[in-house]
Amino acid sequence: MTVLFVTGTGTGIGKTVTTAALAAAALADGRSVAVLKPAQTGVGPDEPGDAAEVARLAGAVTTEELARFPEPLAPATAAARAGRTPVGPQQVADAAEKLAASHDLVLVEGAGGLLVRFDADGRTLADAARLAGAPVLVVTEAGLGTLNATALTALALRTHGLRCAGVVIGSWPAAPDLASRCNLADLPESADAPLLGLVPEGAGGLPPGAFRSAAPGWLAPALGGSGTFRLPG
């Protein structure tokens, strides 16, 4: 795949760190990578956003933001409150296509979940992915409640005619509880897509060099991983 959209079942579940792991694995394989953040919310004009965090962890990637809004809200609300023009799905798809012309892999990281509103017309990341003709990777949580959230996201993907590339757990605990361990077997059924990665809890706090060395091992080969990925027992 040349363009891959990355969404989540909610906020704060590891989308940015997962995107960084995908980028690091691709870079380790000698591929060029661009990271597109359509709408960055909750940071000031001189503060690093999610794309910058991916570059810090993964290395030499091209980064692009289409818009930045200061309040930590859904993009449509943040744009309206800032009195700024929101980002439209066609703008996202066009930017991804342009980056794909000069990069082997373009990672488009959404804000929050798949159906978070981009504009007053209710358009979402799903609309952008459909226009781009790109698959969507779902980042989800490990523990109790994740099966329902993942199933709902998968249903939304099918409703929009989108292909789910797979599921990655964005913060796999060092000491997983019973629900987390059982979810390893149950998540693929909920998503109707394979489980393709476990990003360790706290991975974003690793030194960049250690992150880059370890990242391929967190991902299955379908995501450019090293082939060492195994589901814990």
Provide the annotated active-site residues.
37
* Residue 12, marked binder: yes
Residue type at 9? T
> What is the spatial distance between Cα 221 and Cα 217, in angstroms, rounded to a whole number?
9
**At a CB cut-off of 8 Å and minimum separation 6, what does 157 contact?**
114, 126, 136, 138, 163, 164
**At a CB cut-off of 8 Å and minimum separation 6, what does 164 contact?**
135, 136, 137, 138, 154, 157, 191, 192, 193
* Residue 16, marked binder: yes
* Residue 13, marked binder: yes
* Residue 88, marked binder: no
DSSP H helices, the chain, are 15-28, 50-58, 75-82, 89-100, 125-132, 146-159, 178-191, 208-214
* Residue 14, marked binder: yes
* Residue 9, marked binder: no
* Residue 112, marked binder: yes
* Residue 50, marked binder: yes
Known binding-site positions: 12-17, 41, 50, 109-112, 170-171, 201
Known binding-site positions for ATP: 12-17, 50, 109-112, 170-171, 201
Known binding-site positions for Mg(2+): 16, 50, 109
Known binding-site positions for substrate: 41
